Amino acid sequence: MAAFASPFADLSVVDRPTVGGKGASLGEMTRAGVRVPPGFVVTTGAFERFLAGVDPEGHIRRSIEALPAGDLIAVSKAAEAARARIVSAPMPAEIGEAIVSGYAELCGAGGDQPVAVRSSATSEDSSEASFAGLQETYLWIVGADAVLHAVRDCWASLYSAESVSYRLRFKLPEEGLAMGVVIQRMVDPRCSGVMFTRSPLTGDRSVIAIESSWGLGSAVVSGVVTPDKYVINKVTGEVVKRTVSHKTVAHVPDAAAGGVREIAVPDDRRDAPCLDDAQIAELARIGKSIEAHYGCPQDIEWALAPDVDGTERLFLLQSRPETIWANKERQPAAAPKATAFAHVFDMFGGKPRT
Amino acid sequence: MSASERAFPLPSEIRDLPGTEGWEQMYPYFTRFRPEDDKVFWFYNAMHFPEPMPAFDVLTAEVPYQALGAFTTRVFSFPTTLGIDHRIVNGRIYITAYPVTDPEEIGRRLAVFQERAGYYFQNWERLYGEWKERMHALIRDLQAIHVPALPELDDIETVTSAKGIGQNHYVRESYHRTIESFSKMWHHHFEFLMLGYGAYLVFFEFCKKAFPEISDQTVARMVAGIDVFMFRPDEELKKLARLAGELKVGHKFGDGSDPTEIISALEQMGEPGKAWLAALEETRDPWFLMSTGDGFYHHHRSWNDDLSVPFSAIARYITMIEAGQSIERPTAALKAERERIIADYRALLGSDEERGAFDQMLGLCHLVFPFVEDHKFYCEHWFTTLWFTKLREFGALLARFGVIADVEDFFHLHHTEADLALQEVALAWASGGPPAGRGHWKPILKERKRIWEKLKDWSPPPALGPIPENIADPALQMLWGITSETLASWARKPSVADANELHGFAASPGVAEGVARVLKSANDIGQMRDGEILVCPVTNPSWGPVFGKIKAAVSDIGGTMSHAAIVAREYGMPAVVGTGGATKRITTGQRVRVDGNTGVVTILG
């Protein structure tokens, strides 16, 4: 069973090849004591078993490898055919059982609970993962059948036209292609957002930037709302900048149809800050500890939501290494000199100062 | 550009304030603006001179600028800057810095600078040790200066020790020695200061590069000293408060009580009261020689001159001790916190190379900070308070001979006029005739005092003349925080939208709301009430004791390395400094919000 579905608590970063980056990171955070909504990962092994059942001869992979990279019509036809086979194929019993029992365990005694189903790419390179369409997310999925469907939808996203084109263009092998699928209890947040443990504007590593808005974080990530912004000094803990924005819309769970819907924010909450100082401070503390845990600046998604006991708490939904500034070349601010005071000579040395 | 388009008026466009005509007679000819000064950029030095200058007190500008320029221009040969020039208009001091721009000259000056500044940096600790000895000697010499009493007959010792010199000679000699000692003090003041600030500036610039979003106040926290002199007077007040508790004499102190009454009550108490008064006497020299200003005005009296400031602080500390509150300054915790901040920033640097440079630069700051932090007590407070006290002895002599009506009138004479008046008294004493000064000075002084009072009504523009394209003078930046950005913010005319907002430097984090108390002069410090927000022209070290009872501080002028900013950070109290005109736009009793994170002060009404 463990081969097809692994609870977060059993995972860590070393499991990336079998559960993907997102799943491994959620496991790592869970084990580090960070409050993460509980969940499990459908492993790459599950996908491979599934694919072997759907296509024992390996037709899908061979036909895709044979495609001419530039022929978009042929690519999209083949991709569509592959996706159709994946979403319509029955789930092998042993995998289905693993997922259903994992889901049941997540729900506990309270009946079916909403979950998020997300793809979890094994690729090391996050830009590759994003080009390859490996960032599928299905929110507010309720019931075992819906979960099984969403898992197959995630798997099928490996065969989106853009994903296939990308692999063809870079001549990436189809063999061994796989993904994990994260299934995680959904929280119904009062507000949520993102947090960078360095400045997204200047790359300054001594500050933490938080963005927040009402409802689900998808509103912030997709850019439909201008979020509140806070800059916190990582060393002193002071909130050095605070911008409360006019927040007109929010994403909220669509309890009836599943998924999320966009609503207008009531007038009296539009200009109100989402977080108080204690919550900002706690978020920053969490950000610092996650950065320290991974040893590099992080790009984090968070939510402020009722816990199972009804008490509102901060949850971490995702954390990944920050890549934009990490990949930039930066000149050192200064290098040591023969004497400490030689720095003063340099400053007064007539070089243009601004 | 027409006058209306320019951000600042030209010097030649400044008009006399009606009723102050003739003000320039109080000041030396070389302090007047000249036609060619219209081409130069000047700014109002409100940091040091927030009030109109009494005639004598202009020496507190002339002498420091002689000394500062000597060290930057001639002694150390700073490569890109010469010295500071000053002018006086409507009683206010405007200054400018002369930069060096010719690359060849900069190169020549740099070679000299490296040798000379290098010598000081290499031998800093030894030279600073010698500096302290020199300052102590200078203070002893000043105190030893004898002002002759000019009695009816000279002392018998003049005969028995065959001095061969009548005591009226010493009117001249002692006066000149007093003036000269002030000049020596200011030379000592600038001997190390610009090099010290240079070390600070280098570290600030490095931090801004490595951490683009770091605030000045955070850099300052890594540099600031903790066991420094400027905290000592306040510590002495706490010591006296604790002693009052131990001796069970604390009940004699009430907030707002007259110090004279407290002292006489203590005298009548017998032994415990006497023991406390003895401890007070021991503390007063030097720790009560704190000026309530920065030593630039004769009327900014010291704690010793007006015991109500220290006594009200002592009373408050006694109440706190009785209520079981701690009055200790948590120096160990403050040090540990500073070390933690340093270690955390150091760890965030990108490479060992950067960490090496960081260690060097911060190490240099920590080498120079004992001087940078302590010189002010030695110079502007300890020495200068004694110096004004000595000058009052000469004032008393003139008053006794009927030349001036009151000792304080002495400071409305220019120092050369005071010299003349003293010589004439020495002459009259010798001739036995009446001094002409009796009829001469009194009407002049009366008119000057009237003009000086009137000049206080003038609102000096923050700057005069054309704004330079790029202002990057290290002296201006180090001493006055003047950069192109500062000038841009001065030039910005307030729009309707932010009519209730003032912008300054965020000096100490936190947000506080409360009732404002605007204090134009440091002498009014006794008016502060618990929980008020202090609004003042310039934050000042001797105000330390009131920091415990106020909610926040706002100043017109000041930088993030100022002592007041450091104290505010230690008290965890929001402070915004350098707002430009808080004392004009805020009135006592208004509710204000002080945001020490963003540097914004909002008038709530």
Asked whether residue B321 falls in the same domain as residue B244, the answer is yes
Cross-chain residue pair B211–A206, CB shorter than 8 Å: yes
What is the C-alpha to C-alpha distance for residues B248 and A245, in angstroms, rounded to an integer? 58
User: Which residues does B274 contact at the CB level (< 8 Å), separation at least 6?
Assistant: B266, B267
Tokens 């808080």 sit on residue: B582
Q: Is B260 inside any structural domain? A: yes
Q: Taking the alpha carbons of B273, B275, B277, B283 in that order, is the dihedral positive or negative?
A: negative
Residues B473 and B500 in one domain: no
How many structural domains compose chain B? 4
Query: What are the Cα distances from residue B307, in Å, to A244, B253, B543?
Result: 48, 12, 13
Decide: A64 and A83 in contact? Cβ < 8 Å. no
pLDDT per position as a tens digit, B310-349: 888 898 889 889 999 888 888 899 899 999 999 999 999 9
pLDDT on residue B584: 83
Alpha-carbon gap, residue B280 to B483, rounded angstroms: 45
Determine, yes or no, domain membership for B469. yes
- pLDDT tens track for B56-71: 999 999 999 999 999 9
CA nearest to B400, candidates B143, B177, B56, B151: B151
Closest residue of chain A to B343, computed from CA coordinates: A235
Chain position carrying tokens 């950005």: B485
User: Does residue A242 sit at the B interface (CB-CB below 8 Å)?
Assistant: yes
List, for residues B148-180, the tens digit of each pLDDT value. Answer: 999 999 999 999 999 999 999 999 999 999 999
Whether residues B130 and B151 share a domain: the answer is yes
Indicate if the pLDDT at residue B446 is higher than 90.
yes
| pLDDT tens, position by position, B453-479 | 999 989 888 899 998 877 777 667 767
What is the average pLDDT across B24-36?
Answer: 97
Residue A1 has pLDDT above 50, yes or no: no
CA distances from B101 to A88, B25, B88, B339 (A): 78, 36, 27, 40
- For the stretch A170-226, pLDDT in tens is 888 888 888 899 999 999 999 999 999 999 888 999 999 999 999 999 888 878 889
B97 shares its domain with B180: no
Supply the DSSP symbol for A56: T
The pLDDT tens digits for A239-298 are: 988 889 999 999 999 877 778 899 999 999 999 999 999 999 999 999 999 999 999 999
B144-165 burial, b if ≥16 CB within 10 A, otherwise e? ebebbebeeebeeeeeeeeeee
A-B contacts at Cβ under 8 angstroms? 139
- pLDDT at B403 (0 to 100): 97
Q: Is a pLDDT exceeding 60 seen at residue A322? A: yes
Q: According to the model, what pLDDT value does residue B578 have?
A: 75
The model's confidence at residue B199, banded by pLDDT at 50, 70 and 90, is very high
Q: Does position A321 have pLDDT exceeding 80, yes or no?
A: yes
How far apart are alpha carbons A287 and A281 in whole angstroms? 10
Please, which residues have CB within 8 angstroms of residue B557's CB and are 6 or more apart in sequence? B46, B47, B50, B537, B538, B577, B578
Size of chain A, expressed as the number of residues it contains: 354
- Asked if B137 and B194 sit in the same domain, the reply is yes
Q: Which residue of A has its CA nearest to B104?
A: A350
SS3 for A55? coil
Averaged pLDDT, A121-146? 73
Q: How far apart are CA A176 and CA B399, in angstroms?
A: 103
The model's pTM is 0.84
The pLDDT value given to residue A341: 93
> How far is the C-alpha of B316 from the C-alpha of B310, rounded, in Å?
10
- Calculate how close chain A gets to B594, using CA atoms only, in Å: 14
> Which chain A residue shows the shortest CA-CA distance from B121?
A341
φ, ψ for residue A318, nearest 5 deg: -170, 145
Whole-angstrom distance, CA of residue B585 vs CA of residue B583: 6
Nearest to A347 among B198, B211, B213 (CB): B198
- The verdict on residue B598 lying in a domain is yes
Average of per-residue pLDDT values in chain A: 89
For residues A23 and A118, give the distance between their C-alpha atoms in angstroms, rounded to a whole number.
9
Predicted confidence at residue A311, as pLDDT, reads: 94
The predicted pLDDT at position B496 comes to 45
- Of A179, A342, A47, A80, whose CA–CA distance to B115 is shortest? A342
Whether residue B161 is contained in a domain is answered as: yes
Amino acid identity, position B172? R
Tokens describing residue A332? 């050192």
Is B49 within 8 Å of B296 (Cβ atoms)?
Answer: yes
Q: Do A354 and B103 touch (CB under 8 A)?
A: no
* A285 vs B: CB within 8 A: no
Residue of A nearest to B508 (CA): A238
CB A226 within 8 A of CB A247: yes
Neighbours of A76 (CB within 10 A): 15
Q: Which domains does chain A have, with CATH numbers?
A: 5-185 (3.30.1490.20), 191-321 (3.30.470.20)
Cis peptide before B286 (omega within 30 of 0): yes
Distance from CA of B200 to the nearest CA of A (A): 9
* Contact in structure between B262 and B280 (CB atoms under 8 Å): no
pLDDT-based confidence at residue B506 (cuts at 50, 70, 90):
confident
Interface test with B, best of A344, A346, A353, A354 (most B CBs within 10 A): A344
Instruction: Name the pLDDT band for B4 (thresholds 50, 70, 90).
Output: very low
Chain B residue numbers with beta carbons less than 8 Å from the beta carbon of A353 are: 80, 472, 474
> A284 phi and psi, to 5 degrees?
-60, -40
> If we measure between CA atoms, which residue out of B71, B59, B43 comes closest to residue B190?
B71
Torsions phi, psi for B349 (to 5 deg): -65, 155
Do B270 and B309 lie in one domain? The reply is yes
Q: Which residues pair with A214 in a beta bridge?
A: A191
What is the structure's pLDDT at A266? 95
- Per DSSP bridges, beta strands B463-464 and B511-518 are unpaired
Q: Do B364 and A344 touch (CB under 8 A)?
A: yes
State the burial class of residue A162 (Cβ atoms within 10 Å of its Cβ: 0-12, 13-18, 19+): middle
- Answer yes or no: is pLDDT of A354 > 60: no
**Per-residue pLDDT at B497 exceeds 50:** no
- Chain A interface, mutation test: which of B360, B362, B487, most A Cβ atoms within 10 Å? B360
Q: How many Å is the Cα radius of gyration of chain B?
A: 25
The answer to whether B357 contacts A334, with C-beta atoms less than 8 Å apart, is yes
B391 and B316 housed in the same domain: no
Which chain B residues have a beta carbon less than 8 Å from that of A204? Answer: 211-214
Q: What angle do CA B63, B65, B67 make, to 5 degrees?
A: 70
Give residue A133's pLDDT band: very low, low, confident or very high (50, 70, 90). Answer: low
pLDDT at residue B416 above 50? yes
Instruction: Read off the pLDDT band of A86 (50, 70, 90).
Output: very high
B384 shares its domain with B476: no
Q: Do B248 and B265 share a domain, yes or no?
A: yes
Is the Cβ–Cβ distance between A99 and A42 less than 8 Å?
yes
B38/B32 Cα distance (integer angstroms)? 12
Q: Supply the pLDDT for residue B550.
A: 87
- Give the pLDDT score at A127: 52
Is the per-residue pLDDT at B495 higher than 70? no
Q: At what angle do helices B124-144 and B352-376 cross, to 10 degrees?
A: 10
Closest CB to B356: pick one of A336, A344, A350: A336
Query: Is B385 inside a domain boundary?
Result: yes
Q: B439 in a domain, yes or no?
A: no
Helix, strand, or coil (residue B555)? strand
Q: Which residues make beta-bridge pairs with A300? A: A195, A319
Over 90: is that where the pLDDT of A2 sits? no
- Cβ B11 vs Cβ B464: under 8 Å: yes
**Alpha carbons within 13 A on the beta-carbon side of B253:** 30
Q: What is the pLDDT of residue B579?
A: 79
The answer to whether A126 contacts chain B (CB < 8 Å) is: no
Nearest to B214 among A206, A336, A354 (CB): A206
Please give the residue of chain A at the shortest CA–CA distance from B218: A236
Is the separation of the CB atoms in A148 and A96 below 8 Å? Answer: yes
Mean pLDDT along residues A66-71: 83
Residue A123 pLDDT exceeds 80: no
Quote the CA–CA distance of A180 and A45 in Å, as a whole number: 8
Q: Of A272, A112, A83, which Cα lies nearest the Cα of A183?
A: A112
* B498 and B598 share one domain: yes
For residue B493, pLDDT over 60 is answered with no
Task: Tell me how far the alpha carbon of residue B356 is from its chain's centroid.
Answer: 36
Write the DSSP string, B263-282.
HHHHHTT-HHHHHHHHHHHH
> How far from A346 is each of A350, B79, B202, CA to CA, in Å?
8, 10, 9
Structure token digits, residue A211? 């963005």
Say if B443 falls within a structural domain: no
Cα–Cα dist B602/B593, whole Å:
5
Please give the order of strands across the beta sheet that includes B81-89. B81-89, B92-99, B42-44, B463-464
Give the tokens for residue A171: 């001549």
Retrieve residue A41's tokens: 């990962």
In a domain, residue B171? The reply is: yes
CB contact under 8 A, A236 and B199: no
Which pair of structure tokens corresponds to residue B311?
């006594």
Q: Name residue A207's beta-bridge partners.
A: A233
**Above pLDDT 70, what percent of chain A?**
95
Residue B501's DSSP bridge partners are: B602
Q: Say how far apart CA B288 and CA B281 lie, in whole Å.
A: 10
**Same domain membership, residue B555 and residue B513:** yes
Identify all chain A residues contacting B358, using CB atoms and an 8 Å cutoff.
Answer: 334
**Domain identity same for B94 and B141:** no
CB contact under 8 A, A341 and B363: no
pLDDT at residue B3 above 70?
no
Predicted interface score ipTM higher than 0.90? no
What letter represents residue A214's amino acid? W
Residue A39 · residue A63 · CB < 8 Å: no
Residue labelled with tokens 């200068």:
B384
Q: How far, in Å, CA of B310 to CA of B306, rounded?
A: 8
pLDDT at A290: 94
Q: pLDDT digit string (tens) for B251-304?
A: 888 766 789 999 999 999 999 999 999 999 999 999 999 887 788 999 988 889
Whether A236 contacts chain B with CB within 8 A: yes
Residue A41 at interface with chain B, using a CB cutoff of 8 Å: no
Provide the pLDDT for residue B1.
46
What is the C-alpha to C-alpha distance for residues B253 and B234, in angstroms, rounded to an integer?
A: 17
pLDDT at B582: 87
The boundaries of the domain holding residue B159 are 125-225+356-432
Average pLDDT, chain B: 90
Q: What is the 3-state secondary structure (H, E, C) of B102-127?
A: CHHHHHHHHHHHHHHHHHHHHCHHHH
Contact A343 B360 (CB under 8 A): yes
pLDDT of residue A121: 83
- Cα dihedral B432→B438→B439→B444 (10° resolution): 150
